[in-house]
Chains A and B, each alone.
Chain A
Amino acid sequence: MDGMVFNVQRFSLQDGKGIRTTVFLKGCSLRCVWCHNPESQKSTPELAVYSRKCTRCGACEKVCSRTFSQECTACGKCLSVCKNDAREILGKIHSPAEIFDMVKRDKEYYITSGGGVTLSGGEPLLQADFCREILMLCHENGINTVIETAGNVPFSAFEKVLPYTDTFLFDLKAIDEKVHIFCTGSSNTRILQNASLLKEKTKNLLFRMPYIPHYNDGELPKIKAFVEDFPLELLPYHTIGIGKYATLGKAYRLSDVTPPSVDEMTDLARKYGVLYQPSGY
């Protein structure tokens, strides 16, 4: 079964152990206010416009009346007339074999570094059959597999990939349901159920918490209690993704939050006995 992917990023270092190829699947069932991949949310292709390159020459408007409007269907007509390469369609259908062909190219680097493939998103498990086929191909070829999930899917999706997944990176945003709804637009009931079930089914499970000051920072002790003996890693809020919002014509809602410093995060991690790895940004 084919899937909708918006990026295959080689030499990824923050999505599991070692040098990895991260496959970003398009479509997500949450709408976290701090999302750094806004292009991952919709499950259909989207048009991105890079205003810095755009000279407002008007060529795109001549071929399509909807090019700067909400009704854009990402048909791609305007791309072929843009002389400045200021436009891009994000999201493309790929077969599992196509994805695997890209992933296997870096096998030697995985061997040296203990890396492999990571399926991320969006929510990869919204396309569980597609994931399963990629993971199977990887396992047949001795490539380590990781899934990065927010868990807001039916548990049957987990069951499909469970035999072929070496490690789950499971995001927990909040334990308090109200906080969760405020931050993500959805309830966390199913997420917590899935997390509890998964804890029983596998040992290779790393919980991760995006740490966003003023939004979910108060949830840290509760999340720590929830994960029990499983490891928990903190992912501090950052602003690198802000620029993406404008290219998609979306508004960024968190402009008042300051990213926590490395020292702050290091202290927190020590205080709660959780993991934290500075990314350098």
Chain B
Amino acid sequence: MKNIRETEPFAYGFLHCKSKSVEKRMACSILNYAQVVPVTVRAEDWFAGNTCNAENYDIRFRSNGAMDYRMELFAKSIRKNPLALVYQVRMFPHIGENYVFWTRNHKEHALAVHKNLWGTGLGHGNPDYKMLLDVGTKGIREKIAKYRTVHSDKGEFYDSLECTLDAFELLAKRYRDEAKKQMQTASEEEKIALRRMADALENVPRNKPRNFFEAVQFFWLAFSFLEIDSPGLFDYALGKYYDEDDSGIRYACLQKLWELFYKTRSWNLCIGGSDEKGNDLCCDLTYDILKVAREYRYNTPNITMRFHKNSPERAWKEAAATLATGIGMPAVYNDECVCTALENLGIPPQDSHLYCMNGCNQIDIFGKSHMGLEDGEFCVAKALEYLLFRGRCQHSHQKLGLDLGNPEKFTTFDEFLQAFFRETDYMADTVTRLSNEAQAWHARFSPNPWRSNLIEGCIEKGVDYKCGGPLYGHGQILTEGLTDTADSLTAIKHFVFDTRKYTLKTLVTALKKNFVGYSELYRDFSTYHKFGNDLEDADEMYATIYHHIYRYFLKIDTFRGGKFGVGCSTFERAANYGRHLGALPNGKRKEDSLLADSIGAVPGCDTFGPTALLNSVLKVDQTLATSGNVMQMKFPKAPFQTPVGQEAFIALAKTYFRQGGQTLQINVVSKEELLDAKIHPERHQNLIVRVGGFSQYFVRLEEGLQDNIIQRTENEL
């Protein structure tokens, strides 16, 4: 039987470390892990690594940088082993049943489970693989030595960083030895791969790679050391090695890496873009990544491609051709908009142009920031529910919002709107407070010394990644149901305050009764002007609430030392949020799960085509969105595969970007295909649908979201 040191290496390392510093204890747990984790080498993989997916550990690091424990294994451990219990008490002292949502009392708990709002302090990260490869661990050690003398009181912090480097190098050595060992019994073909692996591991990770193979080996070892997260600006980090490689196997290396990415479900890989002078950064590797994506048609990693006004035609064409395969990638981003948004936060241009995505579509600065993944999320439609029902959430029927009195007292729409903003401000204050509490907790109990090596600012300041070490520590809160709320307000303004066809009291009663017995009111409200059709009143309402909410958040400080930004992401959650709302004045019935799943129209409500939809969206200032403003569009597949269709998409995207659009996410599918996939999932296992920066197989999505995608207007191409 294995001993505890081997079965629970993190817990063992943590609890047997004598230091008082949590960072040091964390580093000790990583070192112990590196010493005992079983290393397996497979010649057919070409590259050694993927340590973090070694099976049967109760506790490990998570891709969002937090310590995680697998519930089922952990429960087993507690029965068998008191050590695990001690560990749990020490590491998770304040957390309720689900540590992702930070809640400490019943009201906060209700806010989270009834999908009003929640805050947390996790975060995907984008470690600086370019720097790591270019200087090797040797270079990082030199940097630590330099700053050790500057901050002489931070000895333990620097010790912990070096300890994780020891662990990393040790692991490389163990893989090298394993490869050599296996060579003795391997076939001739396998021997070549194993020798190449062993040779590379003689050089990396201590030194700079000598060719693309070594660069990928180095990258893969670091990338899969403790967690699987986002590769970040991959062509920026490895493009130079690709360009200079004359081994003849550089594309084969990329193919092998692609298979490994897929096996491990890696997150966001970002390519293309411009530097701060407007020079295009596309290189051979950029185009070969699109090629390999077309070849394999995997749903992971999520590919993001950055564009700017000087992007070459080839970049657009290859992106369109990749989208035409139906993999929903790449998501296209506009440097001019994103970089301006980041510069408004005080990030200088040379760094703003290093943005990439952490996780799905949350914006990060490659190797320089901890900007959260989702620091929190809130449902804008709940603010309207609070206002109409005197603070009462219509799912839990608890008083979770502000009670601003009887809403019938408002005599003008402006008064009504100002009261609505008091509710959104209250939600903003609450969600950011919860997030900051969670961030502080993470800083105290869950530091990440390995990542501190790889994010600029941590070594320089002598401060951990979670504690405000990185150069930029802004936050990101996501919204749900913004469009549904705007459409509701447009209808309220028209029917209650302008034409006075209905009183607010009638509307409230109709909503309570889920429109039953109010068919005329339902028809009026559900068919009134909707956002996404280039209609002035609906668009103006949307812009008014968008600007208020986005600007309000930007005034609030994060624990990490930045400002909260807002974005609109779209996951399967959109449908879930819909189900936790009562009836809405835009015609959403209680049982409907259809909420707008991006900053665009409510699904099915944009009836004038993609140009009208984009014109509506362009009426808001997207440089206020520092967390990714996803704009989803779905095109039928067949026309997208014609040259005319692809050229039209390119023109559409260019026009949208020129006028200030931030990002476009395109799903290319046929409606029939989707309908059939619902009935016969077994026939459509390969159908990939991109849902807000997140690619998934359609048949694995929940039904509400499947319906949402099907109903979203199929823009005729």
Contact = CB atoms under 8 A, between A and B. Distances in A.
Interface centre among B611, B638, B640, B717 (most CB of A within 10 A): B611
Contacts of A14: 644
B648 A19 contact: yes
For the complex of A and B, 10 pairs with smallest distance between CB atoms:
A280-B639, A113-B651, A280-B638, A11-B609, A112-B655, A112-B651, A10-B609, A280-B642, A106-B611, A109-B655
Interface string B603-644: 000001111100100000000000000000000101111111
A108 B658 contact: yes
Contacts of B647: 113
B716 interface: yes
Given A280-B641, A280-B645, A9 B609 contact: yes
B612 to A, nearest CB: 6
9 contacts: A10-B609, A14-B644, A105-B534, A109-B651, A109-B655, A113-B647, A113-B651, A278-B642, A280-B641
Nearest to B610: A11
Contacts of A9: 609
Interface string A252-281: 000000000000000000000000011111
Contacts of B651: 18-19, 109, 112-113, 115
B611 A11 contact: yes
A281 B644 CA distance: 12
B519 interface: yes
Nearest to A281: B638
Interface centre among B638, B641, B655 (most CB of A within 10 A): B655
B644 A11 contact: no
Contacts of B519: 83
B141 interface: no
A229 to B, nearest CB: 24
B514 interface: no
A109 B652 CA distance: 6
Contacts of A18: 648, 651
Given A11-B611, A280-B638, A280-B717, A108 B659 contact: yes
Contacts of A64: none
Interface in B532-547: 534
Given A9-B609, A10-B608, A13-B645, A112 B534 contact: no
A247 to B, nearest CB: 18
Given A11-B715, A112-B654, A112-B658, A105 B611 contact: yes
Interface of A: 9-11, 13-14, 18-19, 83, 105-106, 108-109, 111-113, 115, 277-281
B615 A105 contact: yes
Interface residues of B, number: 29
Interface in B570-628: 608-612, 615
B176 to A, nearest CB: 53
Interface of B: 519, 523, 534, 608-612, 615, 636, 638-645, 647-648, 651-652, 654-655, 658-659, 715-717
B611 A279 contact: no
Contacts of A106: 611, 615
Contacts of B652: 11, 19, 109, 113
A280 B654 CA distance: 23
A11 B534 CA distance: 13
Contacts of B636: 280
A277 B639 CA distance: 11
A279 B610 contact: no
A46 B648 CA distance: 33
A108 B660 CA distance: 12
A236 to B, nearest CB: 13
A279 B658 contact: no
Given A19-B651, A108-B655, A113-B648, 5 more contacts: A10-B608, A11-B652, A13-B639, A13-B717, A279-B639
B612 A105 contact: yes
Given A112-B654, A112-B655, A277 B642 contact: yes
A11 B716 contact: yes
A192 B293 CA distance: 52
A109 to B, nearest CB: 5
A270 B622 CA distance: 47
A249 B609 CA distance: 28
A245 B534 CA distance: 31
Contacts of B610: 11
Interface centre among A14, A108, A113 (most CB of B within 10 A): A108
Nearest to B520: A83
Contacts of B716: 11
Given A112-B654, A112-B658, A277 B611 contact: no
Nearest to B647: A113
A148 B266 CA distance: 51
Contacts of A280: 636, 638-642, 644-645, 717
Contacts of B615: 105-106
Nearest to B519: A83
A278 B639 CA distance: 8
Contacts of B715: 11
A10 B655 CA distance: 15
Contacts of A109: 611, 651-652, 655
Nearest to B716: A11
A281 B654 CA distance: 25
A201 B233 CA distance: 57
B609 A279 contact: no
A11 B612 CA distance: 9
A169 to B, nearest CB: 15
A55 to B, nearest CB: 14
Contacts of B644: 13-14, 277, 279-280
Contacts of B643: 277
Nearest to B612: A10
A189 B645 CA distance: 37
A9 B640 CA distance: 18
Interface centre among A18, A109, A111 (most CB of B within 10 A): A109
Contacts of B648: 11, 13, 18-19, 113
B635 to A, nearest CB: 10
A115 B610 CA distance: 15
A10 B652 CA distance: 12
B661 to A, nearest CB: 11
Contacts of A11: 609-611, 648, 652, 715-717
Nearest to B640: A280
B321 to A, nearest CB: 14
A108 B618 CA distance: 12
A10 B717 contact: no
A105 B652 CA distance: 14
Contact of A19 (B611, B638, B642, B659): B611
A233 to B, nearest CB: 12
Interface centre among A9, A113, A277 (most CB of B within 10 A): A113
Contacts of B612: 10, 105
A109 B654 CA distance: 9
B528 to A, nearest CB: 14
A14 B644 CA distance: 8
A279 B715 CA distance: 15
A280 B668 CA distance: 13
Contacts of B611: 10-11, 19, 105-106, 109
Nearest to B653: A112
B717 to A, nearest CB: 6
A280 B716 CA distance: 11
Nearest to A21: B611
Contacts of A278: 642
Contacts of A281: 638-639
Given A10-B608, A10-B611, A279 B642 contact: yes
Contacts of B717: 11, 13, 280
Contacts of B658: 108, 112
A153 B564 CA distance: 64
B628 to A, nearest CB: 24
A116 to B, nearest CB: 12
A115 B636 CA distance: 21
Interface centre among A9, A10, A14, A277 (most CB of B within 10 A): A10
A10 B713 CA distance: 14
